[in-house]
Structure 1
């Protein structure tokens, strides 16, 4: 069964008439704040799409059918997401690709780099804004059709707060958790990948270990936002073909059940 984030504190917060939410804790007012650890008790106003943004048409009125790829850096989320994206009916959306394609000299590009170069997470409101605009562009261009495609999300949501902000837009059918207990194997994977891609800063051991630490503290708790029945743990250290086989055993039936008529 599809599942949406079950923690209600942020989705539709209610405040006593004598109390209003603090401005510094509202998503759209934190563009220049430092990254904060997520605290479930903090109130937060739901993210809303601006109807005045001429470059970003509104999202489809129906919830977007989605599958999440969740795992620490180096577990192969991008590899598996890209493969799935080649299968008709699946559209891969990598937050990393979206961020890296931004103009580094733009205001939002500089803001992103100020965090990523230190291995820190980008603030949630900035991440959701960039993600939402990319989805809108895909819909407008016809490369993503919400009624006949499953959106494969890779790298987002990265925090429970993001999961809640996206809750009103997504219907999550499965969370593929690429789970690896061998941290040294991930460190070596990330080091080799950064060297191959000529990204020397990302190959530094201290930066790699900081990224893994941030994942444990900030991203892994996203699993708690979804029912255990839709979370599927998969070993990412097998061959790409073996990992793909395991993922397909989960997502292929979902595609048939959710979009069967649209794909016929």
Structure 2
């Protein structure tokens, strides 16, 4: 495999590659696609479009848009996509670190993104390896989806808050052990991906999604946050719940 080079994307031809990679990963219908012009706009209004190249092949990209939260600028990372043949090679992590480097250089403290709470690998990356915290759950956030990755389920999402220069994040990036008082947990079954992929077992996936939504929403309503994530020997994922406040991010 060629060496991976991570760099900003600025040219229309590069944005065309992003659109093609998006289609390869999600197989969206035309109405759901992010177009070349949106990638171009993101790169010109204070957002980010960052690519990971293996030779001439765009192996992955990350795209974010600028926003304002509580009167302060932040970045919303809308897309992170990696070709299947480049997964498990650290490409996603490198793209996130490139986003962080750029944001910190601009004085931005916070990056957010949504992700599917049923995706164990994504949760492990976002929470355990990057140090994000979770305090919000959004049911069917993007509406109905035809992408086979979603298995016909509602597009429920949780929102990762990545406080870029916080002690929590710097420790996670340094691979220091998780430290926090765990007051509860919510489990994602290891079989969830298989259940979503097979019509006969999809009701199991729907039931698991409902249970996870109820568990996380109840914890968030009580003022708790997801402060850690574990994967057990059987491959089950576990959201670890505890106290957290924005004061800890500073």
Settle same-fold status: TM greater than 0.5: no
Higher strand share: 2
Higher helix share: 1
The structure with higher relative contact order (CA 8 Å, sep 6+) is: 1
TM-score, normalised relative to structure 2: 0.32
